Structure 1
Amino acid sequence: MRTPPAVSPTPAAASRTPLRGRAALVAVALAAVGSSMLVGAPSAAARPAQDTTQFKGVNWADPRDNFADDLLQLSGLSTTDTYRQTYAKATRVIAAFRANLGANTVRLPINPYTVNGAYWKSYRGVIDAASDQGFKVIVSYWEGTGPRKDGFIDDEATYWPMWKTVVKAYKNDERVYFEPMNEPHGYTDTQWADIAAKWLDTYKSVPRNRVFVSGAGYNDHVTTVCADPRLKGTYLSLHHYGFWKEYATYDQWVADLKVRIGDCANRTVADEFGAPMTTGLNYDKATPDDNFVNYVQAVTDTFRELKMGSVYWPGLRTDDIYSIQKLVGPPSRPWLETTNQSGADRLAWAWGRGKPVGK
């Protein structure tokens, strides 16, 4: 989500479809397309890698920016779809993310309405379809909307059971990662670290190298969660947006990003960053007078330099000028088209491909 801070932030089992059944589903869908740690020093198996470049991804969002007091409905899907229908549509969308962008990771929202009721069976089709195609899946909790959109967990009486259900379903799927909360800006840095530590203690069965601890505030700095020994062994998620400043130069954007990361780049994934993609901006060309061009070139260069993974916001969200993909084709057989090739070029560069452009 792209809700700006009030001021510019500063650093301070539910039965899963049997494997053979899912394999059959993925074969059908692809044919239609076209062919783990406790407090203390982490063990080698539970320690994040020395860089996070394995995460090359996009967010797939509800048109409402994922803030909802009801069922989440990802762009291109329907809450009335069965598991099989959801799985088939999601298979095509995930395949398009890979074909068009070279992505291997997708970040998805959850909330208690979606998980704690009957729709969870269908919604799991999205997670399963992505995992079955080899995608890494980051599952993140979003709060509600209106007065509930305040940076706090809406209702702990439904929040913890939600995560119990999700963890039970996916703790043994090594491709699924858990992000306890998106942008916990209602809490102080210390309060948020306490909640993240409680999450880890509650779900000890989840390896720490499959947990993304959000940076404090609007995920806008990871320095405090990085320094907390209780959170060792986890990945850290950072959000960073160009609209946080009216204007900054390329060098100023590089400096702004680096101070939010501190010396924690080897654990950090930028799982939200984005800029307008449908307004005709050319991110392949140096345009020093344009804030967003400066921003996109700066952050993608920096992610590559620091060997950081990144997950663009959004890969797909209906009616969002930031969306780098748009839906095409019939609703029952969705496919995607790229909205800005220069934006896709910059993603490829951040992900270690392509050639330097823009500067």
Structure 2
Amino acid sequence: MARFRRCLLALLLVPLFAVPHDAVAATNGFRGVNWADARDNYVDGWVIPTGLTAGDSYDSVRGKADGIITGFQQKLGANTVRLPINPQSVNSDWWGRYKGAADSALAHGMKVIFGYWEANKDGFVDDVNAWNTMWDKVTSDYGGNGNVYFEPMNEPFGYSLNDWVSLCSTWLSRHSTIPRGRVLISGTGYNDNVTGVGAASALDGTLLSLHFYGFWASDTTRSAWTANLSNRLGSYSARTIIDEAGAPMTTGLNYSAGHQDGNNFTAYFAATTDLARSRQIGVVYWPGLRSGDTYSITRQSGSGLETNNATGVVQLRWGWGL
């Protein structure tokens, strides 16, 4: 009997150790969109996503957001929204009103990702003290909500890998009450590669965020784009959320099967969504809504939204696993 138990134990343990590290989790629970400022989120001032105004009260923000968030859900099938923040917005009276956007999303059962954008466009945190004050406030207000996620910085291209890991380690220590599984650590450069941060033991347990765009290369085949994206992911797909990826949605491109290879953007978007689906990677589209942006997959219509490209929506939903 003892020999039988040892054999049975061996059979039970083999699959556990045989599963590749990258296959033990997935992030495809994040089916998201960015809700962005028409000026882009790199602003020296309040970030004000499309549809909101600086004069809005909390109730006004909340009411406008209700229509937009409902649009993201009904028109796209999204369950996540990524919202920009900066110290100018949070360390001011705008924060008490802007929170209506996040509160609306949470009330609709959405996940919320707060991401910091710097203003100087140099890839560095503008003012570390103000940045810390901002994050202290945001984590104090939303740290207790399990549907809220925190991205310490968007596109940290000014930092070396070591300096970026050091800054993120300090952030994690300062906000140690936030579970690491609710923190998104940006890849190096323009969030364009997660292999370095993924390998950093100081960042174990965190999620990783990757950005990936079709204007980064001129390839016109899905196979080339798949190889490009795979190299940026390395062995860290299971921890990664592609929290920016997008393509032109107002120029008449057809993203349907049979129309993908042969064009830079259709091949790129097909490869991105195919790989995301096959590896169960979450995707947060850029942008879900941003006026004046040809990549915007929706536009405002009354108090709600309409989609800009039906084939693009189908392909995005395919990538989400829908």
TM-score with structure 2 setting the length: 0.91
CA distance in 1, matches of 2:205, 2:89: 29
Instruction: Give the aligned residue type for 1:77.
Output: L
Match of 2:236 among 264, 278, 285: 264
Which residues of 2 match residues 122-133 of structure 1 at below 5 A?
122-133=97-108
* 1:141 and 2:113 are equivalent in the alignment: no
Deviation at 1:79, TM superposition (A): 1.3
Kindly indicate whether the alpha-carbon contact (under 8 Å) linking 2:260 and 2:270 is maintained by their aligned counterparts in 1: no
Kindly indicate whether the alpha-carbon contact (under 8 Å) linking 2:192 and 2:212 is maintained by their aligned counterparts in 1: yes
Query: Which structure shows the higher helix fraction?
Result: 2
Deviation at 1:212, TM superposition (A): 0.4
Which residues of 2 match residues 17-56 of structure 1 at below 5 A?
50-56=25-31
* 1:64 and 2:36 are equivalent in the alignment: no
Kindly indicate whether the alpha-carbon contact (under 8 Å) linking 2:220 and 2:261 is maintained by their aligned counterparts in 1: no
CA distance in 2, matches of 1:322, 1:122: 28
What SS does the aligned partner of 1:343 have? helix
Taking a change above 3 Å as real, the CA distance of residues 196 and 164 of structure 1, as seen in their structure-2 partners, is same
What SS does the aligned partner of 1:274 have? coil
Deviation at 1:164, TM superposition (A): 0.4
What SS does the aligned partner of 2:245 have? strand
- Give the corresponding residue for 2:321: 352
Kindly indicate whether the alpha-carbon contact (under 8 Å) linking 2:222 and 2:260 is maintained by their aligned counterparts in 1: no
Instruction: Give the aligned residue type for 2:66.
Output: T
CA distance in 2, matches of 1:208, 1:287: 38
Match of 1:341 among 296, 299, 310: 310
- Give the corresponding residue for 2:8: none
CA distance in 2, matches of 1:49, 1:111: 34
Match of 1:298 among 268, 271, 280: 271
Deviation at 1:157, TM superposition (A): 2.0
- Give the corresponding residue for 2:49: 74
Kindly indicate whether the alpha-carbon contact (under 8 Å) linking 1:49 and 1:267 is maintained by their aligned counterparts in 2: no
Kindly indicate whether the alpha-carbon contact (under 8 Å) linking 2:214 and 2:268 is maintained by their aligned counterparts in 1: yes
- Give the corresponding residue for 1:45: none
Instruction: Give the aligned residue type for 2:104.
Output: A
Instruction: Give the aligned residue type for 1:76.
Output: G
* 1:286 and 2:286 are equivalent in the alignment: no
Match of 1:159 among 116, 124, 131: 131
Deviation at 1:49, TM superposition (A): 7.0
Kindly indicate whether the alpha-carbon contact (under 8 Å) linking 2:297 and 2:313 is maintained by their aligned counterparts in 1: yes
Deviation at 1:335, TM superposition (A): 0.8
- Give the corresponding residue for 2:224: 252
CA distance in 2, matches of 1:352, 1:74: 27
CA distance in 2, matches of 1:78, 1:270: 29
Deviation at 1:247, TM superposition (A): 2.8
Farther-moved stretch of structure 1 (233-242 vs 285-294): 285-294
Match of 1:321 among 282, 287, 294: 294
CA distance in 2, matches of 1:76, 1:112: 21
CA distance in 2, matches of 1:121, 1:320: 28
- 1:226-246 superposed Cα distances (whole Å, 9 cap, x missing partner): 111111111000000000012
Deviation at 1:165, TM superposition (A): 0.4
Structure 1: 5+ residue runs without aligned partners? 1-47, 354-359
CA distance in 1, matches of 2:45, 2:187: 26
Larger radius of gyration between Structure 1 and Structure 2: 2
Match of 1:205 among 173, 177, 183: 177
Deviation at 1:91, TM superposition (A): 1.1
TM-score with structure 1 setting the length: 0.82
CA distance in 2, matches of 1:248, 1:232: 36
- Give the corresponding residue for 2:190: 218
Across the aligned residues of Structure 1 and Structure 2, the Cα RMSD in angstroms comes to: 1.1
Structure 2: 5+ residue runs without aligned partners? 1-22
Match of 1:310 among 268, 274, 283: 283
Q: Percent identity?
A: 48
* 1:86 and 2:61 are equivalent in the alignment: yes
Runs of 4+ deviating beyond 6 Å: none
- Give the corresponding residue for 1:18: none
- Give the corresponding residue for 2:12: none
Instruction: Give the aligned residue type for 2:309.
Output: N
Deviation at 1:286, TM superposition (A): 2.4
- Give the corresponding residue for 2:94: 119
CA distance in 2, matches of 1:337, 1:348: 16
Deviation at 1:248, TM superposition (A): 3.8
CA distance in 2, matches of 1:112, 1:241: 27
- 1:8-63 superposed Cα distances (whole Å, 9 cap, x missing partner): xxxxxxxxxxxxxxxxxxxxxxxxxxxxxxxxxxxxxxxx9700010000000000
CA distance in 2, matches of 1:189, 1:305: 29
- Give the corresponding residue for 1:183: 155
